[in-house]
Amino acid sequence: MMRVSIAGGSGYVGGELARLVLGHPGLELAQVSSERSAGQYLSSAHPNLRGRSDLRFCPIAALEPADALLLALPHGHSSRQIGRFADLAQTVVDLAADFRLDTADSYEHWYGEPHASPDWLERFTYGLPELHRERLAGARYASGVGCNATACTLALLPLARAGVLDEARGIVCDVKVGSSEGGAAWGAGSHHPVRSGVVRTYAPAGHRHTAEVRRNLEIENVHLSVTAIEMVRGASATCHAWLSQELSEKDLWKLYRDAWTNEPFVRIVHEQKGSWRHPEPKILAGSNYADVGWALDLEHGRIVAFGAIDNLMKGAAGSALQSLNLMLGLDEGSGLDFPGLHPV
């Protein structure tokens, strides 16, 4: 059993990490830090873990050496003390945005402040196994992924890699998201009577995850618009694009199959009938699956690509654990076998 600790474990991503590590056959949850909740049981912040662990949150300063360390701190915290965290564990996965982008310039452009440890950037591998499985297998440091970026990336990657998109016309990803994306801190906009039932455009342009999608797809002319809807978990990307060449349904099947058939956590959902023809995030709650699909408008050369995930799982804790499994030489899917529920 390898011992894993979590820094910043009272938020939603931290809670998912704790749930996953506690249920992992090859990992033991050593410590979980939280300044706010120090001294309290994990279940005070994560009521679903009642009866699963007697652990109490510790202050971050009390973290001891472990085999692996998962960082679920607010953006900017991990890069300011990465040296100390690296001293605590041979293997580190940082779920914040600090080490997701390739350059300090890019980080500063999108996150509005200089990167605190630019020389560490190249030591980190972007923690999306579908992009970097081989590098992750030997990595000591991995970043997490942006949830909305992951939904868009996995939806579009088969098309981007095949070079069949008309990049000049631009690609617009209209992402629908749940309230858990906003994290555990409450405010005026998350007050239930206000937030309930909204169709709230909160980032029509300039969403930070745009940077990750552009880098992942190697296409610059991609734009995200994010709308908050009535949902707690889930992110669903509807990616609007134009084809640079005529493609048939059969061609598209081949592109998506070539990209995803061997991926354990990407499922192609493209059915002719029924209520579940296209990817649907609600049945993914708690699971590490990304469901992807498309619709082809042959007459207009238009394609709509879909990507649905649980933002806290494949979009955060799930991809992180999948990466950690690879980094530690464990079975990639270990601890990630919950398939999601239906009905739900």
Q: How far is CA 222 from CA 103, 170, 172, 198, 325, in A?
A: 19, 6, 6, 26, 31
Q: Which of 287, 323, 325, 334 binds its own copies (CB under 8 A)?
A: 287
Residues 169-208 close enough to bind its own copies by CB under 8 A: 169-170, 172, 174, 176, 178-180, 182, 184, 186-201, 204-206
What's the sign of the alpha-carbon dihedral 49, 52, 56, 57? negative
The reply to whether 231 sits near its own copies by the rule CB under 8 A is yes
Give the CA angle between residues 13, 215, 170 to the nearest 5°: 110
If one asks whether residue 34 binds its own copies (CB under 8 A), the answer comes out as no
Amino acid at 318: G
Bridge partners, residue 24, by sequence: none
For its own copies, which is the closer residue by CB, 250 or 342? 342
Identity of the residue, 140 or 240, whose beta carbon is nearer to its own copies in the bound complex: 240
Q: How far is the CB of 82 from its own copies (least distance, A)?
A: 28
In whole angstroms, how close is the CB of 287 to its own copies at the nearest point? Answer: 8
105 touches its own copies by CB under 8 A: no
Separation of alpha carbons 216 and 220, rounded Å: 10
Look at residue 31 and give its three-state secondary structure.
strand
The CA distance from 94 to 116, in Å, is: 14
Q: Which stretch binds its own copies (CB under 8 A): 105-113, 132-140, 156-164, 334-342?
A: 334-342
- Which residues, in sequence order, are CB contacts of 26 under 8 Å at separation 6+? 1, 2, 328, 330, 331, 334, 335
Q: Is residue 229 at the binding interface for its own copies, with CB under 8 A as the rule?
A: yes
Distance of alpha carbon 21 from alpha carbon 335, whole angstroms: 7
Among the options 147, 152, 173, 239, which is catalytic? Answer: 147
Query: For helices 12-22 and 318-327, what crossing angle results, to 10°?
Result: 50
Contact at 8 Å (CB) between 150 and 290? yes
Smaller CB separation from its own copies, 65 or 206:
206
Q: Which of 285, 292, 309, 316 binds its own copies (CB under 8 A)?
A: 285
Q: Is 147 annotated in the active site?
A: yes
Q: Identify which of residues 308 and 324 has a Cβ nearer to its own copies in the complex.
A: 308
- 126 or 260: whose CB is closer to its own copies? 260
In this chain, which stretch among 28-36, 60-68, 289-297, 315-323 interacts with its own copies, using CB under 8 A? 289-297
Instruction: Work out whether 1 is an interface residue with its own copies (CB under 8 A).
Output: no
Nearer to its own copies, 94 or 174 (CB): 174
- Residues 125-164 touching its own copies, rule: CB under 8 A, are none
The CA distance from 337 to 320, in Å, is: 14
Of 115, 270, 282, 314, the one binding its own copies by CB under 8 A:
282
Q: Using the rule CB under 8 A, which residue among 28, 38, 52, 330 binds its own copies?
A: 52
Please tell me whether residue 112 binds its own copies under the rule CB under 8 A. no
Under 8 Å between Cβ of 42 and 18:
yes
Which residues are part of the catalytic machinery? 147
